[in-house]
Amino acid sequence: MSERALSCADISEWLGAYVDGEAAECLNVSEQQFVDHLVTCRDCLEEVLLTRRLKQLMSTRCAPDHAPATLKQAVFAQVYQASFTSQESWQSQTLWVEER
Ligand SMILES: [Zn+2]
Q: Which domain holds residue 84?
A: 8-99
Average pLDDT over residues 44-53: 93
Q: How far apart are CA 60 and CA 78, in angstroms?
A: 16
Domain for residue 1, yes or no? no
Give the model's pLDDT for residue 68: 67
Whether 3 is in a domain gets the answer no
47 has pLDDT over 70: yes
Number of domains observed in the structure of the chain: 1
- Cα 66 to ligand 1 centroid, rounded to whole Å: 31
CA 49–ligand 1 middle distance (angstroms): 13
CA dist., res. 89 & res. 86, Å (int)? 5
pLDDT at 45 over 90: yes
User: How do residues 49-92 score in pLDDT, each as one tens digit?
Assistant: 999 988 888 777 655 556 667 776 777 777 766 665 554 555 55
Burial class (CB in 10 A: 0-12, 13-18, 19+), 48: buried
Q: Is residue 96 over pLDDT 90?
A: no
CA of 47 relative to ligand 1 center, distance in Å = 9
Return the pLDDT at 48.
Answer: 93
Mark the residues whose beta carbon lies below 5 A from ion ligand 1. Answer: 8, 41, 44
Q: What percent of the chain has pLDDT over 70?
A: 65
Structural domain includes residue 2: no
Distance, CA of 85 to CA of 88 (rounded, Å): 9
pLDDT band at 99 (very low <50, low <70, confident <90, very high): very low
